[in-house]
Amino acid sequence: MLRADALRTIYPELEQSIVVTIMGAVAAELYTLGHRHNFFYLEHAMGLASSMGLGIALSIPEHKVIVIDGDGSLLMNLGTLSTMARYKPGNLLHIVFDNESLLSVGGFPTATSTGTDLAGIARASGVPQVMEAHTPESLKAAVTEALASNTLTTIVSKVEAVGPKTFHMDLPLLENRFQFKRALEALRRQKMQ
Amino acid sequence: MPVSVTNSKLIYDALKACDVKIMSALPETWLVHLIRMADEDPDMTLVRLAKEEEGVGISAGAHLAGVNSALLMQNHGFLAAINPIVSLAFLYKIPLLMLISLRGHFGEKDPWQTQGGLVTEPILRAMNIPIWHLTNPTDIHRRLKDAQTLAHASLHPVAVLLSRELMWED
């Protein structure tokens, strides 16, 4: 499966949610599909997108938060699975696109290419719902099920190690940051009314 | 265990007065009472971390979601969190209220703490992170509030160093 196709298929769900992505190919692809103020692209600090998602999910329990992670990033912060599993926010969905590669820096193979099983690690860490979805249709079904279940879920999707032609995004980091904070404020206000 | 309950309570109350709603923490001896107080407080979300760098992500998320948070860590935990502080908090202008127990300083008996004690303040200074020492029970409220105020005004991390004379009763 191409990650770009996967993203296109689940875009309607992403559109409705607070989304935090890792840097690189996935950020550029989501941005190209259609940027929204409720999308945040963490352009550095590899591994921490899921920790940010956890912080948001605990702060705004009434809104769905979707983290789009990658194998390289998750491998840098495996402890995040045990921390998420410990608090189990039901509004948090953690999607991991596993291309078995550090694609953005030249395609070096990660440990998932030699057998490390991220879904297995998520399960063993105590994440209450772990799914694997390797086609756009099955991913869409998994995302729908996860969001409806109100259960902390990790979905691992194997994707091809193919990225966009350019990683350029016409969105300075700080613009994204302040935009995103305002979008979250607006969501909180809506909920209070 | 001669960790000061009284001063831990003063620090905890000062964090409450700062409207801190989320505290991330990794246990260490001097922090045991603070962590227990957070755990027992139904209005506080305590996030027990596997590693301190996660706390930077959690606080960044909380800030963007409009919630005040604090990070509770030992100085060696701060050392472990340097990259996220640089490449998330600095890069994205995220205020962090970091409470760091300053182990390995004067009076330290544990040899393994002493190297961290030597480098903590120079590294904080090299990173341009404002430092305030908490040494006196009478100014805890003021110093924590002022630290948070500066963090929010500057959109930058601040460090409040918890000292032996405040935390440890020999």
Q: Which of B23, B47, B51, B54 to mutate to test the interface with A (most CBs of A within 10 A)?
A: B54
Of the candidates B49, B61, B83, the beta carbon closest to that of A59 is on B61
B61 contact residues in A (CB cutoff 8 A): 20, 51-59
Q: Structure tokens of B104?
A: 């390995």
Task: Report the distance separating Cα B157 and Cα B128, nearest Å.
Answer: 9
| Domain range enclosing B51 | 5-167
pLDDT digits (tens, 9 = 90+) for A40-56: 999 999 999 999 999 99
Burial class (CB in 10 A: 0-12, 13-18, 19+), B19: exposed
pLDDT digits (tens, 9 = 90+) for A97-155: 999 999 888 889 999 999 999 999 999 999 999 999 999 999 999 999 999 999 999 99
**Is the dihedral angle over the CA atoms B53, B55, B57, B63 positive or is it negative?**
negative
Here the CATH number for the domain that contains residue B83 is 3.40.50.970
Q: Where are the beta strands (DSSP E) in B17-157?
A: 22-25, 45-48, 69-74, 97-101, 131-134
Q: By the CB < 8 Å criterion, does A79 face chain B? A: yes
How much is the pLDDT for A100?
97
Q: Is 0.90 topped by the overall pTM?
A: yes
Fold (topology level) of A3-192 = Rossmann fold (3.40.50)
ipTM of the complex: 0.97
pLDDT digits (tens, 9 = 90+) for B27-72: 999 999 999 999 999 999 999 999 999 999 999 999 999 999 999 9
- The answer for A150, left when phi > 0, alpha when psi is -120 to 50, beta otherwise, is left
Domain total in chain B = 1
Per-window interface: A 86-115 vs B, CB < 8 A: 86-87
Higher pLDDT, B65 or A189: B65
Distance from CA of B141 to the nearest CA of A (A): 24
DSSP string computed for A172-185: -HHHHHHHHHHHHH
